[in-house]
Structure 1
Amino acid sequence: MVKEKPNSTRIYDKDGFRRRAACICVRSENEAEVLLVTSSRRPGLWIVPGGGVEPEEEPSVTAVREVLEEAGVVGSLGRCLGVFENNDHMHRTEVFVMNVTKELDEWEDSRNIGRKRQWFTIDDAFTQLALHKPTQQHYLMQLMHSKTLDNTNRVVNATHPPTTTLTNAACSAAAASPTTA
């Protein structure tokens, strides 16, 4: 079953890209495992939880809302990994890290569309994303790199390997003027 949101307004940036936000959910500071959810379009495949930014909503708020709706988790929002651009689908996704502190037994998408969640090692998550959402593999690559790059944020063209780095730039500033590889 595909998830439909009544009264949902898609928000676009000045370049015509749909604005999205997502979270790489981790359950410990070592960030060795990430939480993925089943796709609403292809329930046997796994994706990073995220969705469209609503009118008058900050991307960080979108990210927290989407992981609650799609994964049934809450936690503390951490660093921004960057803005990831997908030219094929014309969207830019601002991706954050969330340290999960609570997993709900039941949540909106588990009730409404039967969505599942599961913890994966980074390597296993990388493999799972390759099957359905290979562009989301860039989120995981940036998660691993950002642990050693002193909170460097990147604007990444998820259709091609990343080449542009914005040092010490806030995600919102990057979203305002993203670049492509």
Structure 2
Amino acid sequence: MINSLFCLFQILLVSSSSDKERWVVPGGGVEPQEEPTLAAVREALEEAGAKGLLGRKIGVFENIEKKHRTNLYAFIVTDLLDEWEDGKVMGRRRQWFNIVEARDHLAHKPVQVTYLELLNVKDLNGIVKR
């Protein structure tokens, strides 16, 4: 049952800016004075051409060595633009994958694989904030 739910749940990945044959979770930096929630919505639009609703916060990932913090949110895609900033400027592609496939495509990004590991069956049913 759990595996079949994971195969139905979809995640949108974008091609890497450095290697167009590799996939990554869309995301980016928070601008000065910008809230992480607003950055998440902005980055989804810029990197993936995705509009939608910000769901619940899934977690915060910190890399103390690199002084880097990532806030991860569920994002419910309601619309995909035919043309978007990183698609035009950087030639980025996007593609939907189920969680099992996404995990395989993110093998070169172990930290991003951990994002997927935080999802569980409860998350699949309650991903949108109530």
TM-score by length of 2: 0.85
Cα pair distance change 1:87/1:46, threshold 3 Å? farther
SS in 2 for 1:49: coil
- Displacement of 1:89: 3.5
Q: Which residue of 2 aligns with 1:140?
A: 116
How large is the RMSD of aligned CA atoms in angstroms?
2.0
**Structure 1 residues 35-54: aligned runs within 5 Å:** 35-54=12-31
For CA contacts below 8 A with separation 6 or more, give which structure has more relative contact order. 2
Which letter maps to 1:86? N
CA distance in 2, matches of 1:42, 1:59: 26
CA distance in 1, matches of 2:59, 2:118: 8
Tell me which of 29, 37, 43 is aligned to 1:60: 37
Q: Which residue of 1 aligns with 2:4?
A: none
SS in 2 for 1:50: coil
My pick for the range that moved more, 59-68 or 31-40, is 31-40
- Displacement of 1:88: 5.1
State, as a whole percentage, how many aligned pairs show the same letter: 52
Q: Does 1:126 pair with 2:103?
A: yes
Structure with larger Rg: 1
1:44-87 C-alpha deviation (Å, 9 max, x unpaired) = 10000011110110000000000100000000101000101234
CA distance in 1, matches of 2:68, 2:55: 22
Q: Does 1:100 pair with 2:77?
A: yes
Q: Between Structure 1 and Structure 2, which shows a larger proportion of helix residues?
A: 2
CA distance in 2, matches of 1:82, 1:92: 10
TM-score by length of 1: 0.62
User: Is there any run of 5+ residues in structure 2 with no aligned partner, and where?
Assistant: 1-6
Q: Which residue of 1 aligns with 2:57?
A: 80
CA distance in 1, matches of 2:56, 2:122: 9
